[in-house]
Amino acid sequence: MHYAVHDVIGNIGLVLLLGTYLLLQLGRISSGQLRYSISNARASLLIGISLLFKFNISAFLVEDFLFVFSLYGIFKYFSPRSIVRSVAAKEQKNKN
């Protein structure tokens, strides 16, 4: 079996994806956190790179959609409405 650089890249993406999902299930991170979306985007990008060398349409579509959904989460995190809610929550927490 030939194990190339793109295989290593894909496996790093897989470990990142599974690690992120495990942290979510363990309650160590929240799906609303920026690092969750960034981690998923990185993972799908790495897996997508490996798929360019050994193409599989189903896996490629899954990774494309995961990347787009992760970008949505990143933009949502930085949206003005999200920032206002975050500041308000911190102010409320400081009052208590």
> With contact defined as beta carbons under 8 Å apart, do 10 and 51 qualify?
yes
Task: Write out pLDDT tens, residues 46-76.
Answer: 999 999 999 999 999 999 999 999 999 999 9
Q: Model confidence over 4-32: pLDDT tens digits? A: 999 999 999 999 999 999 999 999 999 99
Please give the span between the terminal C-alpha atoms of the chain, in angstroms, as a whole number.
Answer: 61
**Domain boundaries of the chain, sorted by first residue:** 5-95
Q: Is the dihedral of CA 65, 70, 42, 40 positive or negative?
A: negative
Distance of CA 87 to the CA centre of its chain: 24
Q: What global pTM score does this model have?
A: 0.81
Sign of CA pseudo-dihedral 35, 39, 42, 48: negative
